[in-house]
Chains A and B, each alone.
Chain A
Amino acid sequence: MTAAAVAVERLRKTFEEAGRGTVVAVDEVSFECRPGEVLGLLGVNGAGKTTTLRMLSTVLRPTSGSATILGHDLVRAPASVRASIGFLSASTALYGRLTPAETLRFFAEVNGVPRAEVNARVDKLLHRFELEAVKHTQVEKLSSGMRQRVSIARTIVHDPRVLIIDEPTVGLDVLAAASLLEAISGLRDEGKAILFSTHIMSEAEKLCDRIAILNEGKILACATLAEHRASVGLHYLEDVFLSYVREAKR
């Protein structure tokens, strides 16, 4: 079996909130993601998906537990972790005053792409995501679909082996969302390990090789869709999801 690109072991995150005391956002979750695999984190809002991915992208520091990405420890080597991943979420917007070409160049350079390769890499991605016509237009003047294409392009411009993608289709129309999911599927085929969080069942069904069901900070189950169906005896993912959540509440 291929070695895991992402290995998460009993990761936990708590916050101190005024009036609520200690809030457990992520409660000792463990999972692995291998190259060429899309691992879906499926859960309702507040289930702990975004917090988990923020820890893996080093934006948040875990309260306890451990995780490595391509062998780099989250806490001991955060800069190496950041350089090894491509992170895309609704809260990682583009710099609106840069053009797509400048955006890609900036992300390539800051993520350590050798200078000699930057131009070729940028041109290739502008072509791949059909952004050549708008490459000198400031990002803030582009449509949301175009912007999302630039976002995907900037996430992979340094050719990371691990992608962390948090609810990327939020706010996109059907066509733009479908196009984005196709792009992510293509990246999986290139051998990238992809952590993909969503609360949309159909996205998880279409895209994910394995699905981890999160509820109130805990992973209730992590398996392929077929294994989940067999486990609970239901067909539709929505029913499967509800079954796990209701079982956990009993």
Chain B
Amino acid sequence: MREVWILYVRELRCALRERNLVVSSLLLPLILYPLMLWLLSLALTLSEGQEERNPPRIAVVGAIPAALESALREDERFELERVDTDPAAGVGAGDWDGAVIGVPLEVPRLEGDAKVELVFDSSRSRSASAKEHVRARLLDYRSERLGAWLEARGTSATPFEIEPRNLATDREMGWFIVSLTVPATMLVMVGLGATYPAIDTIAGERERSTWETSLTLGCSRFSLAFAKYLYVATIAASAGLLNVIGITLSLYGLASSLLEGAGTLELAIPWSALPIVVICDLVLAAMVAALMLVPVMFARTFREGQSSTAPVTMLLVLPVVAATMPAGEVGLAFALVPAANVLLVFSQVLQGIVRPGFIALTLVSCLALTLAVLLVSTAMLRREALRMRGAR
């Protein structure tokens, strides 16, 4: 094992001095989601500010009840302007963001009754947004009118009432949201973290002419292959954990302000789930690192390595769907589906569901797959045609 340790330390030392690797495999997983959420928050704030300073303009045409027009004018989310020209043409030309057209009814059913047409252009976000604001105000007005009419006749305004009761606490709701996002992004980041080192340690060495140097070291081929594997797995696991840290900080600090009604939610990974988070990360990293090394064996250059790992990276996106499956309803057979099973365990634990049988089967199947792929990698390294690929 000392031999493996010496080789492993060498790989790691070289890697941590490679700027591209540090950025793509360590820095990016840490800052990507905080950065994305911050940019999203910034964009929303800017958009809201823009709308406040320059609210959508709505044209009013025709006869609409004075009370309705007055109610619309009171709404600060849009500006009302009475016009005589064709409102549809004005909206189409972008002069207005929407139009309210009063259409007289031949036989009014109630006092102050009217038909209102709402004109908008859904291909423009500003017009679509204006439509939602105006429509909401119109519906409020209609409810108020209906309530007043019913009250004048001595009856209730609503035939029945709806009162939603959420049994989940804010903490449980927060964990549920976290369980939908964190496991999936962790898998993606483990894949991203493993890609560069896997390519660099084989195709990169071939390109730099250090591959043959490694092959002539006074150590066994197994030690060499295992040290390279451990190195890739270490970087992948680090990327996964850094991503969890980054996304947790983002959820804690920014997401609650972005999610409507999420102000009181506890968007954080519970401390009790941390051991399982680490185990899931290690299992995923071990598996993904082994899978990444197989296609890279065929690559002679870094560019070929990038092409060869692309299918593996794409395959890693498929299990992400698993994280969105109902935690308690997944059958035991899913524990045999690589990567998806780990995401399910991760997701279940975050929701407070612990299924020992599922977890045990997941660990066994992942370990079996990892060992099988490692054996394939080692066998490939023994094949001279692959070992010497690209040799001059």
Binding site for B on A (CB under 8 A): 57-61, 79, 82-85, 87, 89-98, 102, 106-107, 109-112, 138, 158
How many chain-B residues does the 8 Å CB contact rule pick out? 24
**Binary CB contact string for chain B from 191 to 226 against chain A (1 if under 8 A, 0 otherwise):** 000000000000000001110110111111000000
User: B209 contacts which of A92, A107, A109, A158 (Cβ < 8 Å)?
Assistant: A92
B13 within 8 A of A: yes
B391 within 8 A of A: yes
B47 nearest CB across to chain A (Å)? 45
Q: How far is the CA of A61 from the CA of B384 in the complex (A)?
A: 8
User: B6 contacts which of A57, A90, A94, A106 (Cβ < 8 Å)?
Assistant: A106
In the complex the two chains form, is A59's CB within 8 Å of B217's CB?
Answer: no
B216 contact set on A, CB distance < 8 A: 57-59, 82, 85, 87, 92
B18 within 8 A of A: yes
Count A-B contacts at CB 8 Å. Answer: 70
B220 contact set on A, CB distance < 8 A: 79
Q: How far is the CA of A102 from the CA of B213 in the complex (A)?
A: 15
A191 nearest CB across to chain B (Å)? 20
Instruction: Give 26 A-B contacts (CB < 8 Å), ordered by A residue.
Output: A59-B215, A59-B387, A60-B384, A79-B218, A83-B219, A84-B218, A87-B216, A89-B212, A92-B210, A92-B213, A92-B216, A93-B209, A93-B210, A94-B213, A95-B10, A95-B213, A96-B208, A97-B14, A97-B18, A98-B13, A109-B6, A110-B3, A110-B7, A110-B217, A111-B218, A112-B218
In the complex the two chains form, is A91's CB within 8 Å of B209's CB?
Answer: yes
Q: How far is the CA of A57 from the CA of B251 in the complex (A)?
A: 55
Binding site for A on B (CB under 8 A): 3, 6-7, 10, 13-14, 17-18, 208-210, 212-213, 215-220, 384, 387-388, 391-392
In the complex the two chains form, is A98's CB within 8 Å of B217's CB?
Answer: no
Q: How far is the CA of A92 from the CA of B216 in the complex (A)?
A: 9
In the complex the two chains form, is A95's CB within 8 Å of B388's CB?
Answer: no
B218 contact set on A, CB distance < 8 A: 79, 82-84, 110-112, 158
Q: How far is the CA of A133 from the CA of B392 in the complex (A)?
A: 34
Please list the 10 inter-chain residue pairs (A to B) with the smallest Cβ-Cβ separation, ordered nearest first.
Answer: A83-B218, A93-B209, A111-B218, A97-B14, A92-B213, A97-B17, A87-B216, A82-B218, A91-B212, A109-B6
Given A58-B216, A98-B10, A107-B217, 17 new contacts (CB under 8 A): A57-B216, A59-B212, A59-B388, A60-B384, A89-B212, A92-B210, A92-B212, A92-B216, A93-B208, A94-B213, A97-B13, A97-B14, A97-B17, A102-B13, A109-B6, A110-B3, A110-B218
In the complex the two chains form, is A106's CB within 8 Å of B384's CB?
Answer: no
Q: A82-B219, A91-B209, A94-B210 are in contact. Are A138 and B384 (CB under 8 A)?
A: no
B384 contact set on A, CB distance < 8 A: 60-61
A83 contact set on B, CB distance < 8 A: 218-219
A102 contact set on B, CB distance < 8 A: 13
Main secondary structure of the interface of A (DSSP, over half): loop
User: A93 contacts which of B10, B13, B14, B213 (Cβ < 8 Å)?
Assistant: B213
A54 nearest CB across to chain B (Å)? 8
Q: A60-B384, A60-B388, A93-B209 are in contact. Are A111 and B217 (CB under 8 A)?
A: yes
User: B14 contacts which of A79, A91, A95 (Cβ < 8 Å)?
Assistant: A95
In the complex the two chains form, is B213's CB within 8 Å of A98's CB?
Answer: no
B18 contact set on A, CB distance < 8 A: 97
A98 contact set on B, CB distance < 8 A: 10, 13-14
User: Which residue of A has the minimal Cβ distance to B210?
Assistant: A93
In the complex the two chains form, is B6's CB within 8 Å of A110's CB?
Answer: yes
User: Which residue of B has the minimal Cβ distance to A60?
Assistant: B384
B213 nearest CB across to chain A (Å)? 4
B228 nearest CB across to chain A (Å)? 13
User: Which residue of A has the minimal Cβ distance to B10?
Assistant: A106
User: Which residue of B has the minimal Cβ distance to A109?
Assistant: B6
B19 nearest CB across to chain A (Å)? 10
